[in-house]
Amino acid sequence: MIYRRIDPTADCGIQVFGKDLKGLFENAGLALFDLIADVSLVKPGFEYPVQVTGSDWADLMVNWLRELLHFWSGKELIVKKIKVIEIYEYQLSARISVGAFDAAKHRLNHEIKAVTYHRIQVTNTPIGWEAIVILDV
């Protein structure tokens, strides 16, 4: 035998809720960073505008979370606050507040490597919006 298949447990899933699309996308971003670190210990220092597009709501969600994740993986910044300014047919603009991660002060919960398309769902339900997102950890 030259190899055998194993099933790694390298994924983490989240189910996110929002009363409307703005709330759903804000909550998804906050959930992502809550998984990464204890956000309550981070002091916001900078604000950034973020604009994202997608081919549908699910693609927009993946692109949105990937854009936010880049603040962590590319700049070691933790997103503290999110305000979606405008969202319409697969386009989103927002302002985010970020703070620098300090290993001496902040505890890292999970290292999120990527946002995946695996099982992605964004659904309008009778009580609001819901998304399922799988993250590569």
Tally of CB atoms within 10 A around 115: 22
SS3 (DSSP) at 105: coil
User: What CA–CA distance (Å, rounded) separates 109 from 76?
Assistant: 14
123 forms beta bridges with 130
pLDDT at 137 over 80: no
Residue of higher predicted confidence among 136 and 126? 126
pLDDT of amino acid 1: 63
Residue of higher predicted confidence among 5 and 132? 132
pLDDT, mean of residues 31-60: 92
CATH match of 11-136 with 3.40.50.170? no
- Which structure tokens are listed for 75? 């700049």
User: What CA–CA distance (Å, rounded) separates 84 from 26?
Assistant: 6
* Per-residue pLDDT tens digits for 53-108: 999 999 999 999 999 999 999 998 999 999 999 999 999 999 999 998 888 888 88
Structural domain boundaries of the chain?
A: 11-136
